[in-house]
Amino acid sequence: MSDTTTREYVSTDRRRENTDEAVTEEETQEETQVCPECGGSLITDEARGETVCGDCGLVVETDAVDRGPEWRAFNSSERDSKSRVGAPTTRMMHDKGLSTNIGWQNKDAYGKALSARQREQMQRLRTWNERFRTRNSKERNLKQALGEIDRMASALGLPENVRETASVIYRRALDDDLLPGRSIEGVATSALYAAARQAGTPRSLDEITTVSRVDKMELTRTYRYVVRELKLEIEPADPEQYVPRFASELDLSDEAERQARDLLRNAKKAGIHSGKSPVGLAAAAVYAAALLTNEKVTQSEVSEVASISEVTIRNRYKELLEVDDAGLFA
C-alpha cells in the first residue's frame, strides 16, 4: 500500500471521528434540554439551585452554581448601593470614566471619621490622583471642555444624548487640530449647539449665549468653522421643534400646542417661513394659538420664554394669522 493511500485512510478516519464527536455533543445538548424519563421540558429553579422536569417533576440536576450576586435588593436604591460594578464608559469624561475616583468624605469603610493625619494623607492622595488623571495638555484641554459642555447642557436642560454627541464632536475637533487660534469655550459651545440641532432639541443662539462664556459673534464664527471642517450634516432648524418647549414653559394646553403646529405647517405651505428666524416663527405661532384657544398669554411672557423681542412676535403672528385665514377661505 502506498503512502498516499495511507494518508487518505487516516484523513478519512479523522473526519469520521470529528463527525461522531459533533453528533455526540448535539445529542448531549438535546438530552440536557429534555427530561430523560418523560421527554418533557426542563425548568431551572435558581432559588434552590435545581433543574427539574416541568411535566413529571424529576430532579435532573442539583447544587447548580449561582452566578448572580450573593446579595438581594428590593428596590433601585438598594441595588445601586450594593452593586460593586462601576458606571458604563462614557464620552462625557476625558478618561471615559475608566479612572479611579477617591471620595471626598473623610470616612473609612466602616463609616468612622478619619484622624487628622489620615485626612491629610487622603487629601494628598486626591491631589496626586487628579494630577495623574490628566497626564498631558490634551487631556487637560479635554477635561476643561467636557466640564464646560456639561455645565451649559445642565443650564439649558438638554438630555444626556445631546451631551454625549457634543462630547464626540469636540473630541473630533481636538483630534483634527481645529482648536489653535480658538478658545476652548468657543469650540465647546459650538459643539453643544450643533449636537442640540442634530438631536432635534435645538436651542436658539441667544439661549446658548446666555449660558456660554463667549459672545454671539465668536459663537457663530466658530460654529460655521467646526461644521465646515468636520463636514457635519445639520439640517435647518424646524420651527415646530421649539413649540413643545415654549408651550410647556407657558403652561398651555395640548389644543394650543396642536393649533401652533397647524399654523406653522400652513406657513410652510405658503412659503413665508423662508428667510425668517425659526425661533421667532415658533414664538409667534404659540402666541397666536393661545389667542385662538382663548388662553391668557401676553406677548411679554412669550418674549421672555423664547428670548425674542415683542416686535418680532407681533409681526410674525399677524403673518401667520393672515395665511391661516387665507387657507380657511380658499
- Annotated binding residues for Zn(2+): 35, 38, 53, 56
Grid coordinates in use for 230? 468636520
For 128, what's the count of Cα atoms within 13 Å in the CB-facing half-sphere?
Answer: 6
DSSP bridge partners of 107: 113
**Block residue for cell numbers 455526540:** 24
Given a contact cutoff of 8 angstroms between Cβ atoms, the answer to whether 216 and 205 are in contact is yes
Chain-centroid distance of CA 112 in Å reads 38
Greatest pairwise CA separation for the chain in angstroms: 104
Residue 51 phi, psi (nearest 5): -120, 115
Binding residues: 35, 38, 53, 56
DSSP bridge partners of 34: 41
What is d(CA 294, CA 291) in angstroms, rounded to the nearest whole number? 5
What is d(CA 40, CA 59) in angstroms, rounded to the nearest whole number? 12
Positive or negative, the Cα torsion across 171, 177, 182, 183?
positive
What is d(CA 252, CA 289) in angstroms, rounded to the nearest whole number? 9
